[in-house]
Structure 1
């Protein structure tokens, strides 16, 4: 059943990619991120480095390339091993994300990065701040939209075991300080 759904997802993903206005951040496709610029519409957030994220600030919204990851993780049974691989791939993608921002025509306006995920364990080590969404309806909506991804990438779980989604933020300055290539 999962194999069939993955095949359908492979067909639907390019359509989603097109309509969501996502961009690949590297030509050789080593990154697990697809991104788009967005204006933040949430509540005021103060990040751990003191950066204030306010309504209408320009952020780079990151999306994990889930179909790419699902294909790579399909044969791995261990949830711990899957988590380690995802962590490593995100870590390797962060300098590519920084290069993308530094070469973007709107780089001066970009204040930081935002993502939303159920995979928020260990992301602090990557430099992200984890912020739970305030709106209960939005939390429920995101839980439901993440359900197919959870089904395809892990063992079946009861609805009560579905983790809540969290926002991930990192300021542009913290991204630079953490992932700037040392020459």
Structure 2
């Protein structure tokens, strides 16, 4: 059943990608180069004010780069193993590998000066702090419940338990200072 659902998701994903205004983050920002797990789009933050560890304050309506993981790509890769530790390690290392490219993407973005940071929503937040993300609860009960059920099909296919989703945030300065590489 899970494999069937993943096959259907593989068909639907390109349509979702096109309709959702997402952009892939890739090495050298070329469409045919090595893509990361990150898909991104600009968004205005709508949550409660948040103060990050580096002093950055994220207010309602601040411009953020919303990160989405390429879930179909992840699940296709994780089909090969049932070991939960190996699955978590794969995701961790792929995200870590993609963060320098994300830093490069944001530093070259036409609205780079306006972007305050990056945001993601996930139910898999273990290890996020080691990568530089800060984890914040989603305060709005309705939105948290909506996201929990929106994420549940992926959790079913991945055979992982459903946990309450959280915000992952990182300031643009922290991302660039920690992960940015220059093009030589």
TM-score range, shorter chain: over 0.9
Cα pair 1:35 1:62 within 8 Å, conserved: yes
Partner of 2:136: 131
SS in 2 for 1:31: strand
Does the alignment pair 1:167 with 2:167? yes
Does the alignment pair 1:154 with 2:159? yes
TM-score by length of structure 2 reads: 0.93
Please list, as runs of the form range in 1=range in 2, the aligned pairs for 1:52-71 lying within 5 A after superposition: 52-71=57-76
Once the two structures are TM-superposed, the CA of residue 154 in structure 1 deviates from its matched residue by 1.8
Match of 2:115 among 106, 110, 114: 110
Alpha carbon RMSD of aligned pairs, Å?
Answer: 1.3
The unaligned stretches of length 5 or more in structure 2 are: none
**How many residues are treated as equivalent by the alignment?**
178
Structure 1 Cα separation of the partners of residues 46 and 94 of structure 2: 28
Once the two structures are TM-superposed, the CA of residue 103 in structure 1 deviates from its matched residue by 1.1
TM-score by length of structure 1 reads: 0.93
Once the two structures are TM-superposed, the CA of residue 180 in structure 1 deviates from its matched residue by 2.4
Cα pair 1:59 1:112 within 8 Å, conserved: yes
Structure 1 stretches of 4+ with a deviation exceeding 3 A read none
Once the two structures are TM-superposed, the CA of residue 137 in structure 1 deviates from its matched residue by 1.2
SS in 1 for 2:60: coil
Please list, as runs of the form range in 1=range in 2, the aligned pairs for 1:31-42 lying within 5 A after superposition: 31-42=36-47
Cα pair 1:79 1:154 within 8 Å, conserved: no
Partner of 2:103: 98
The unaligned stretches of length 5 or more in structure 1 are: none
Cα pair 1:113 1:169 within 8 Å, conserved: yes
